[in-house]
């Protein structure tokens, strides 16, 4: 099966794991940036294969997890406005705001719809000219081109009942923030392959130079991840930090230039608050001046909403790799996917949910 079986070959995985073990002369701490990678590592037990040699630190690259609580509250507020059709990717629906989540608002009568593309939301706006249609546009560079395209088309076709609640975040400033943290233990990064398929990897060279840290562009299948880890270990052992592309089948140095052009037209760089981490300067995108009329935050005047995080939730330390999910005092006790205290537990890509769902609350030895 093309692109599935050949990247999930158990024997090859064992061989790669052996190679990694043989190359490593000391234990290394490597951060996978993206939540999709975390999910794949924990689901397939790749961290178990490398136990004692490579410690995988789970990074902040889950868009649902880093979306600030107050933005969820803003979404809930907008979705509750009569006549609004609120469209979102499915996994945002279960993320709790301060008092409820989108499922609850929906049950109370709001028109909340799961869509699979922002362009579906635009179609709904065309079909319902009497309603305000709002798309919850979150994510990293990966989901940004489709969101940009939706806003761009709304402007071109003057679909004025469409707007977007935007909270885009960017990978390179997050890597800087992690490296600048005094508690940082990360020695190498696996960069997210799909982010780089859009943006290329030009942006990573300055980071490597500044922090002397290897960055390997890595995919999401088990063998992609093991190969990324192998290359990172080789670079660490050789003491030659550099950017290395281990996801050549999807990523080029330049990335997707037409997408980048659209992104720079529709969005502009802005400071962003990352849930659990705090404000990182110039770490995200908002709609540019020319497209600001499609900004739902302005249209519905929800900019002033503020929110307080649960003091029990340590998701910030988890997202920065300073705490393993199952080391959190609330993990699998007060905080479960059914009663999540923070977004890392609710999103399927969140490190806490991955640990919970794949049973890292029972000792692995008891299973084997």
Partner 1 sequence: MSSFTQPDLLNWSCPLPLRDCPLIVMGHGGGGKLSSELIEHIFVPSFRNADLEVMADSSVLTLPPGRVAFSTDSYVIQPLFFPGGCIGDLAVNGTVNDICMSGAKPLYLSAGFILEEGFPIAHLAAITERMGAAARAAGVAIVTGDTKVVEKGHGDGCYINTSGIGVISTAFPSSGLIGPSQARPGDTVILSGTIGDHGMAIMSVRDGLEFETILRSDTAPLNGLLESLLKFAPHLHCLRDPTRGGLASSLNEIAYQSKVGILIDESKLPILPDVQSACDLLGMDPVYVANEGKLVAIVETRFAEEILRAMRTSPYGQNAAIIGVVTAQHVGILAAKTAMGGTRVIPMQIGEQIPRIC
Q: Binding residues for partner 1, per CB under 8 A?
A: 1, 4, 8-10, 13-14, 17, 36, 42-49, 63-64, 89-94, 113-116, 120, 138-140, 142-143, 194, 222, 337-338, 348-349, 356-360, 362, 364, 366-368
- Rg of the chain (C-alpha set): 21
CA distances from 189 to 165, 175, 220, 360 (A): 30, 8, 14, 23
Minimal distance in Å, beta carbon 271 to partner 1?
23
Residue placing its CB nearer to partner 1 in the complex, 65 or 236: 65
Residue placing its CB nearer to partner 1 in the complex, 238 or 364: 364
Minimal distance in Å, beta carbon 63 to partner 1?
6
Q: How far is Cα 23 from Cα 115, in angstroms, rounded to an integer?
A: 45
Residue placing its CB nearer to partner 1 in the complex, 172 or 222: 222
Residue placing its CB nearer to partner 1 in the complex, 106 or 155: 106
Residue placing its CB nearer to partner 1 in the complex, 195 or 277: 195
Residue placing its CB nearer to partner 1 in the complex, 103 or 298: 103
Cα dihedral 353, 57, 17, 142 in deg (nearest 10): 70
Q: How far is Cα 223 from Cα 294, in angstroms, rounded to an integer?
A: 42
What is the three-state SS of 30-41?
Answer: EEEEEHHHHHHH
Contacts of 58 (CB under 8 A, 6+ apart): 31, 32, 35, 38, 41, 318, 319, 321, 324, 325, 351, 354
Minimal distance in Å, beta carbon 367 to partner 1?
5
Minimal distance in Å, beta carbon 138 to partner 1?
8
> What interhelical angle do 35-44 and 222-238 show, nearest 10?
100
Minimal distance in Å, beta carbon 176 to partner 1?
22
Minimal distance in Å, beta carbon 190 to partner 1?
16
Residue placing its CB nearer to partner 1 in the complex, 99 or 338: 338
Name the nearest CA neighbour of 174 among 289, 313, 35.
Answer: 35
Residue placing its CB nearer to partner 1 in the complex, 114 or 269: 114
Contacts of 303 (CB under 8 A, 6+ apart): 297
Q: Across the chain, how many H-helices and E-strands are there?
A: 17, 11
Task: Please count the other Cβ atoms lying within 10 Å of the Cβ belonging to residue 99.
Answer: 9
Minimal distance in Å, beta carbon 108 to partner 1?
17
Minimal distance in Å, beta carbon 120 to partner 1?
6
């Amino acid at each position: 099966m093309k692109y599935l079986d050949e990247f999930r070959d158990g024997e090859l995985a064992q061989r790669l794991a052996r190679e990694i073990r043989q190359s490593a002369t000391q234990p290394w701490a490597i951060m996978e940036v993206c939540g999709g990678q975390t999910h794949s590592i924990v689901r397939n037990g790749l961290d178990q294969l490398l136990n004692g040699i490579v410690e995988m630190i789970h990074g902040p690259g889950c868009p649902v997890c880093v979306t600030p609580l107050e933005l969820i509250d803003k979404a809930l507020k907008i979705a509750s406005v009569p006549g609004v059709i609120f469209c979102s990717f499915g996994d945002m629906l279960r993320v709790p705001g301060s008092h409820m989540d989108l499922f609850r608002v929906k049950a109370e009568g709001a028109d909340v719809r799961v869509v699979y593309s922002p362009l579906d939301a635009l179609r709904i706006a065309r079909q319902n000219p009497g309603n305000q249609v709002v798309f919850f546009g979150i994510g990293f560079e990966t989901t940004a081109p489709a969101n940009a395209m939706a806003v761009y088309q709304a402007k071109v076709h003057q679909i004025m009942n469409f707007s977007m609640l935007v909270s885009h975040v960017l990978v390179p400033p997050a890597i800087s923030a992690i490296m600048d943290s005094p508690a940082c233990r990360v020695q190498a990064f696996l960069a997210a392959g799909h982010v780089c398929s859009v943006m290329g990897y030009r942006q990573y060279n300055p980071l490597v130079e500044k922090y002397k840290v290897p960055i390997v562009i890595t995919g999401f299948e088990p063998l992609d991840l093991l190969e990324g880890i192998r290359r990172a270990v080789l670079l660490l052992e050789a003491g030659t930090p550099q950017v290395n592309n281990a996801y050549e089948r999807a990523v080029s140095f330049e990335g997707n230039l037409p997408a980048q052009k659209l992104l720079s037209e529709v969005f502009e760089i802005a400071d962003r608050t990352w849930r659990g981490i705090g404000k990182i300067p110039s770490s995200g995108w908002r709609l540019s001046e020319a497209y600001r009329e499609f900004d739902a935050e302005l249209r519905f005047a929800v900019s002033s909403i503020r929110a307080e995080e649960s003091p029990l939730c340590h998701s910030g330390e988890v997202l920065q790799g300073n705490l393993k999910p199952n080391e959190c005092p609330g993990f699998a006790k007060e905080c479960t996917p059914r009663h999540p205290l923070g977004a890392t537990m609710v999103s399927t890509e969140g490190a806490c949910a991955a640990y919970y769902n794949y049973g890292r609350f029972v000792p692995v030895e008891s299973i084997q």
